[in-house]
Amino acid sequence: MREHHDHHGNHPGSDHVLDDHAHDDIAPDEHAHDEHAHDEHAQDGTADAALAELLDLDGEVLRSYWTDVLTWVRRAATSTGRGRILDLGAGSGVGTIALAQRFDGAEVVAVDSSQEMLRRIRVKALDLGLAPRVRTVRADLNVGWPAIDPIDVTWASMSLHHLTDPDRVLRDVFTATRPGGLMAVAEMAEPLRFLPHDLGIGRPGLEARCLDGLRNDHAHSLPDLGSEWSPRLETAGFAVLSERTITIERNPPHQPATARYAQRWLRRLRSGLMHRLADDDVKTLAILIDGDGPESLQQRDDLQLRGVRTVTLARRP
| DSSP code, position 271 | H
> Interhelix angle for 45-61 vs 63-76, to 10°?
80
> CATH for 2-195+224-252+308-315, among 3.90.226.10, 3.30.70.2190, 3.40.50.150, 3.20.20.140?
3.40.50.150
* Res 48: pLDDT: 84
276-308 pLDDT, tens digit per residue, is 899 999 999 999 999 889 999 999 989 999 999
DSSP β-bridge partners for residue 85 = 108, 153
Q: Cα separation of 61 and 209, whole Å?
A: 24
Helical H segments across the chain, by residue range: 20-23, 45-61, 63-76, 94-102, 115-127, 166-176, 206-221, 229-236, 256-273, 279-290
* 50: Cα within 13 Å, side-chain hemisphere: 18
Q: Tell me phi and psi for residue 275, to 5 degrees.
A: -75, -15
What would the pLDDT profile of 10-69 be if each residue is shown by its tens digit?
A: 332 332 223 333 356 665 333 333 333 333 333 456 788 899 999 999 999 999 999 999
Q: What is the pLDDT of residues 166-190, one digit of tens each?
A: 999 999 999 999 999 999 999 999 9
pLDDT tens sequence across 181-233 = 999 999 999 999 999 999 999 999 999 999 998 888 766 667 777 789 999 99
- The answer, yes or no, to whether residue 7 has pLDDT greater than 70, is no
Task: Look at the pTM and tell me if it is higher than 0.75.
Answer: yes
Q: Kindly report the CA angle at 58 between 184 and 229, in degrees rounded to 5?
A: 25
Whether residue 71 contacts residue 140, with contact meaning beta carbons closer than 8 Å, is answered with no
> Can you give the pLDDT at residue 70?
96
**Hey, where are the domains in the chain?**
2-195+224-252+308-315
Among the listed residues 166, 211, 177, 234, the one whose alpha carbon sits nearest the alpha carbon of residue 307: 211
